[in-house]
Structure formats: C-alpha cells, structure tokens
Amino acid sequence: MSGERRLDRRGFLARGLAAASTALLGGCDDLSDQPWVRRVLDSAETLTHVTQRALLSPEALAREYSEADLSREFKANGSTNSEDPDYVTHAKNGFADWRLVVGGGAGTRGRHDAAGAARAPLAPIPFRETGRRHAPR
C-alpha cells in the first residue's frame, strides 16, 4: 500500500488546473483569431515595450557597430567540412549539380546553380539593420 498515492485537495486542484489549462490550449488557434484577443495581446506587448524602455537604459540594448568595426574575415559557424553524404558528393564535383530553390514569398522564384546564385541580385539592407547582433524595435 505504500506505493499508492492519495489524492488530497491540493493535488486535486493542481491537477484540475493543469487539465483545464491543457484543454484551453487546444482552442488557442480559434481564440487567437478573435479580434478582441489580438487587441489584448497587442496592448500587453505595448505595455511590455513601454515598461522595458522606462526601466532599462538605452545602453542596455544591443551595441551597434560601425562599418569600421567589421572584419573582412567571417569565421564559419559550425563545421566547414560536413560528413553528410549529399554534401560530400556535391563538394567532390565542385557543386556543379547543386541547385538553390527559391520559392515562398520571394519576388524572384526559380532554381539556381551555384554560379547563378552568386550572381543573383540581392536587395540592399541598410547597414544599421545588419550592424547589430539584435535589432530591437
């Protein structure tokens, strides 16, 4: 009998609240589509933003860097020689068969080989947006 757990009032309430919140999460999609819910969430986001601005100094935000601070060498993040079979195959033939597929909301869709992808025009991004590690609004 020592292995049995007795459900007391506190345990019952805790489990009941957990079950109720789980049941409510199932309707989150439908609920988040409601205009009044969006207004409440937007106002909470605005309140959070205003509170952070009031409590934190501007120096606490992400530091900005000038163009002079940028390095010409950009270190790879992660492995530069993957052992993935697809990568190894593409690397052996100089990525001649590799294709970049551009789709979704992109303005110019299509498939590009490595040379075509390198020549593709890029939309300019203002330095101020790229010179930060974080871009708070």
Question: pLDDT by residue (tens digit) across 43-69?
Answer: 888 898 899 888 888 777 677 788 888
- The residue ranking higher by pLDDT, 120 or 91, is 91
- List the domain range (segments joined by +) for residue 43: 9-60
3-state DSSP of the chain: CCCCCCCCHHHHHHHHHHHHHHHHHCCHHHHHCCHHHHHHHHHHHHHHHHHHHHHCCHHHCCCECCHHHCCCCCCCCCCCCCCCHHHHHHHHCCCCCCCEEECCCCCCCEEECHHHHHHCCCCCCCHHHHCECCCCC
Average pLDDT over residues 14-38: 78
**104 falls within a domain:** yes
Does one domain contain both 46 and 89? no
Q: What domain count does the chain have?
A: 2
pTM above 0.75, yes or no: no
Residue 108 in this model has a pLDDT that exceeds 70: no
Average pLDDT over residues 96-105: 78
> HSE on the CB side for 80, CA within 13 Å?
4
**1 falls within a domain:** no
> Which span out of 3-12, 90-99, 124-133 was modeled with the highest average pLDDT?
90-99
Does one domain contain both 88 and 52? no
Query: Could you give the percent of the chain with pLDDT greater than 90?
Result: 3
Give the chain's mean pLDDT.
75
**30 falls within a domain:** yes
**75 falls within a domain:** no
**117 falls within a domain:** yes
**108 falls within a domain:** yes
